[in-house]
C-alpha cells in the first residue's frame, strides 16, 4: 500500500482554497484554449502573424524534399512572444515552449530546440525587420502613432565578445607592456633560482622556464595581432563577435564590447517606429539617418525629432 503525505507548512487545508489533486484523472481533457483569456496578448501575436504574407517578406517557403521544418509563422510567433515577455535567449525560449501554457497554445504544442530558434533569427534578419515595419503600419492605421514628434536615443548592448578578445592598437600596446614586465620579473626570479643548488631550486627553475616560454609565446601572438589590427579597416578586431566594437560607457574604466542600438520612439504612445543596430561607439552620426527612417515609417510630411546633446558633441 502506498501512502501519500501532503505537507502544508504546518497548516491543515481546512479553511483554505484547495487545488485539484495532481493524480486525478480527467475523463474529458480540458481545452487548451480555455487557459488563454480573450484579452491575452498571445492572441494578438497569433492574429497579427497569421495575417502577414510571410513569403513576400522574405521568409523561406517549405522545402520540396527532405524532412519538413517548422513554419516561419510558428517560429515568428515564438520570437515575438519572447520579445513581448523579455525572453530573448534561444535556450530560455526552448524551455518556455515546453512549459508555458500560452506558448503551447500559440505554437500548437510545438517545441523547437534552441539551435533552430537561434538559426531562425540569424537567417531571417531582414524578413523580421519587414515584420517590424508592418507592425508600425498597423499601429498607424489604428491611430497608435501620432507621427508629429519622435525621440531618438541610442543604447549600448553588450556582445558575447569579452574585452580580452577585443584588440585595438592601444589595448595591444598595454598588453605587450604587461607581458614585457612579467618576462623581466620572471628572468629576475630565474637568476635568483640559478644561484641556488638544491633540488627545490631546480624544480623552481623548471617551472619558471615554462612560464617564460608561455609569455614569449603570448608576445609573438600579440605581435601578429598587432599587424592584423593595423591592416583592419577600423583598426579593431573582435575574435568572438567579429562585428562588435569597443565602446566607452559613462563610468571610468567600464568600457564594453558591444553594439549601439538606435531607436526612434513616438512621443505620444511610446512605440518604437524605427531602429538600427550599429557598431559605432558614439551617436553623433546617427541623428539624420534615424530621423529619415522615422519620417518614412510615420508617413508624415514634417517631423519634430528630439535628441540629447550626445548627437551634437564634437
Which of 132, 103, 129, 130 is CA-nearest to residue 43? 103
Question: What pLDDT, in 10s, does the model give residues 89-125?
Answer: 999 999 999 999 999 999 999 999 999 999 999 899 8
For 55-86, b where at least 16 C-beta lie within 10 A, e where not — what string?
eebebeeeeeeeeeeebbebbbbbbbbbeeee
- Measured CA to CA, the distance from residue 69 to residue 29 in angstroms comes to 29
Q: What is the pLDDT of residue 149?
A: 93
Q: Which three cell numbers stand for residue 276?
A: 538600427
Q: Which three cell numbers stand for residue 76?
A: 515568428
Ordered mean pLDDT values, 10 residues apiece, the chain (314 residues)? 52 68 73 90 94 91 80 94 92 94 93 93 91 90 87 92 88 88 82 66 73 86 89 89 85 80 93 92 91 91 92 74
Predicted model pTM: 0.71
Question: What pLDDT, in 10s, does the model give residues 121-161?
Answer: 989 989 998 999 899 889 988 888 887 899 999 999 998 88
Q: What is the pLDDT of residue 216?
A: 87
Which of 310, 239, 240, 309 is CA-nearest to residue 280? 310
Q: What is the pLDDT of residue 11?
A: 56
- Measured CA to CA, the distance from residue 76 to residue 277 in angstroms comes to 20
Q: What is the pLDDT of residue 17?
A: 75
- Measured CA to CA, the distance from residue 195 to residue 215 in angstroms comes to 23
Where do the domains of the chain lie?
Answer: 32-61+69-132, 143-159+243-311, 169-235
- Cβ distance 97 to 111 under 8 Å? yes
Amino acid at each position: 500500500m502506498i501512502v501519500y503525505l501532503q505537507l502544508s507548512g504546518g497548516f491543515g487545508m481546512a479553511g483554505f482554497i484547495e487545488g485539484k489533486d495532481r493524480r486525478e484523472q480527467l475523463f474529458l481533457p480540458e481545452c487548451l484554449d480555455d487557459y488563454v483569456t480573450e484579452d491575452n496578448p498571445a492572441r494578438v501575436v497569433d492574429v497579427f502573424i497569421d495575417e502577414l504574407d510571410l513569403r513576400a517578406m522574405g521568409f523561406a517557403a517549405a522545402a520540396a524534399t527532405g524532412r519538413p521544418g517548422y513554419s516561419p509563422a510558428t517560429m515568428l510567433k515564438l520570437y515575438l512572444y519572447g520579445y513581448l515577455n523579455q525572453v530573448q535567449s534561444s535556450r530560455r525560449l526552448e524551455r518556455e515552449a515546453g512549459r508555458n501554457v500560452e506558448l503551447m497554445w500559440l505554437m500548437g504544442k510545438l517545441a523547437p530546440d534552441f539551435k533552430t530558434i537561434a538559426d531562425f533569427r540569424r537567417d531571417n534578419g531582414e524578413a523580421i525587420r519587414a515584420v517590424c515595419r508592418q507592425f508600425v503600419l498597423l499601429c498607424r492605421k489604428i491611430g497608435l502613432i501620432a507621427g508629429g514628434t519622435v525621440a531618438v536615443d541610442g543604447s549600448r548592448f553588450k556582445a558575447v565578445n569579452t574585452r580580452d578578445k577585443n584588440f585595438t592598437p592601444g589595448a595591444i600596446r598595454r598588453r605587450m607592456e604587461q607581458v614585457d614586465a612579467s618576462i623581466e620579473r620572471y628572468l629576475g626570479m630565474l637568476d635568483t633560482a640559478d644561484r641556488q643548488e638544491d633540488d627545490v631550486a631546480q624544480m623552481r627553475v623548471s617551472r619558471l622556464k615554462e612560464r617564460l616560454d608561455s609569455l614569449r609565446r603570448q608576445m609573438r601572438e600579440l605581435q601578429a595581432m598587432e599587424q592584423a589590427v593595423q591592416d583592419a579597416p577600423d583598426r579593431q578586431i573582435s575574435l568572438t563577435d567579429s562585428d562588435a566594437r569597443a565602446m566607452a560607457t559613462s563610468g571610468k574604466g567600464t568600457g564594453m564590447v558591444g553594439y549601439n542600438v538606435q531607436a526612434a520612439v513616438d512621443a505620444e504612445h511610446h512605440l518604437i517606429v524605427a531602429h538600427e543596430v550599429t557598431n559605432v561607439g558614439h551617436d553623433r552620426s546617427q541623428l539624420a539617418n534615424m530621423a529619415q527612417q522615422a519620417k518614412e515609417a510615420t508617413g508624415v510630411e514634417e517631423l519634430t525629432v528630439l535628441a540629447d546633446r550626445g548627437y551634437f558633441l564634437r
